[in-house]
Amino acid sequence: MQVFTRVQEMQEWSLQQKRLGKKIGLVPTMGYLHDGHLSLVRRAKAECDVVIVSIFVNPLQFGVGEDYEEYPRDLTRDAALLEKEGVEATFAPSVKEMYPQGYSTTIEVGGEITAKLCGKSRPGHFKGVTTVVSKLFNICLPEVAYFGQKDAQQAMIIEKMVRELNFPLRIVRGPIVRESDGLAMSSRNVYLNEEERKSALVLSQALGLARELIENGETSVGKVKEAMINLINSKPFTDIDYVEIYNGEDLSDLAEIKGKVLVALAVRVGKTRLIDNLLLEV
C-alpha cells in the first residue's frame, strides 16, 4: 500500500490509475478506524479496481470548543489495518498541505438540508465537510465514493452537492455498523468511561423504541419524539442535543410519520457528543 501525504503526488497517482482504465473507489475518513470504516473499505474493494482511503482530521468542520485537538489519531495502526484490507493507497495529508497559507475557498450546500439537525447545532460544520470532500474528490478522482449511513445528514448533503455541482462520480451509502450491544461504532466512543458507555446504549435503544412505536401504527411525530426523549432522559450523564423526525429524502418537516422517514438524534453522554439514526420506509 502506498501512503501519500502530498496533494500533487496523490493526484498524479490517481490520474495514472485513470489512464490505465482503473475504476477508483474513495473512502474519506478522519482515521482511528473501526469496523464501520472497514465495512465501507470492503465494499469499495469489492466494487472498484483500486481503493484510496483518505485519513484527515479536517479542522474546518470542527467548531470552537469542539474536540479537534483531542480527536483520536493513530496513523500507524490505521495504515496496518488498511494494508490488511488490501487497500492500494492511503492519503494522509497535513493541514498545511490541504489548506496552505491564504487558503480561503468554501463549498456550501444550501437549503434546509444543511440548516437542520447537526447543521443547526454545529454552525459551519457542513461547510467544512463539503469543502474538504470536494477537495478530496478533485485530488483522488474517484468514480465511486463511499459514505456511512451513520452520518445520514452528511451523506444526504454530499449527494446533493454531487448532483448540483455535477461531480462526475457516484455516492454509495453503507449501513450503520454497531457494537454487539447496539452502540453505533464511532471513533469518539473511546472518550466514554465505563458508566457513560452504559448510558450511551440509550441512543440505539431510543431508535429501537421509535421503530417499535411506528411499526405498531403510531403516526404522530410529537408522540414518538416524546417517548424517545423520556427514555433518554431516564439515563444518567445524558444531555439531549436533538431528537428529530424528518422526511428521509430531503429533511423537510413531516405532518405525520409516512413514507421515507429519518429518525435522528444527537446526545451528549458526559462530554462526548454521539449521533445515531434510523431510516424507515413507512
| Residues found near ligand AMP in the complex (CB under 6 A) | 29-30, 36-37, 39-40, 147-148, 150-151, 174, 176-177, 184-187
Total length of the chain: 282
Residue nearest to ligand AMP (CB): 148
Query: Is 88 or 276 the residue whose CB approaches ligand AMP more closely?
Result: 276
Q: How do strand 260-269 and strand 170-174 relate by DSSP bridges?
A: unpaired
Shortest reach from residue 124's CB to ligand AMP, in Å: 16
Report the Cα 27 to chain-centroid distance in Å: 11
Shortest reach from residue 258's CB to ligand AMP, in Å: 26
34 is catalytic: no
User: CB burial class (10 A; 0-12, 13-18, 19+) of residue 78?
Assistant: buried
Query: Which residues are paired to 274 by β-bridges?
Result: 267
H-state helical runs in 141-193: 152-164
List the catalytic residue out of 37, 122, 135, 225: 37
Query: Is 141 or 185 the residue whose CB approaches ligand AMP more closely?
Result: 185
Beta strand residue intervals within the chain, DSSP E: 2-4, 24-29, 50-55, 89-91, 144-148, 170-174, 238-247, 260-269, 272-281
Give CA–CA dist 234/206, Å, rounded.
11
CB-based contacts of 83, cutoff 8 Å, min separation 6: 1
Element (H, E) at 208: helix 194-215
Query: Is 18 or 42 the residue whose CB approaches ligand AMP more closely?
Result: 42
Catalytic residue ranges: 37
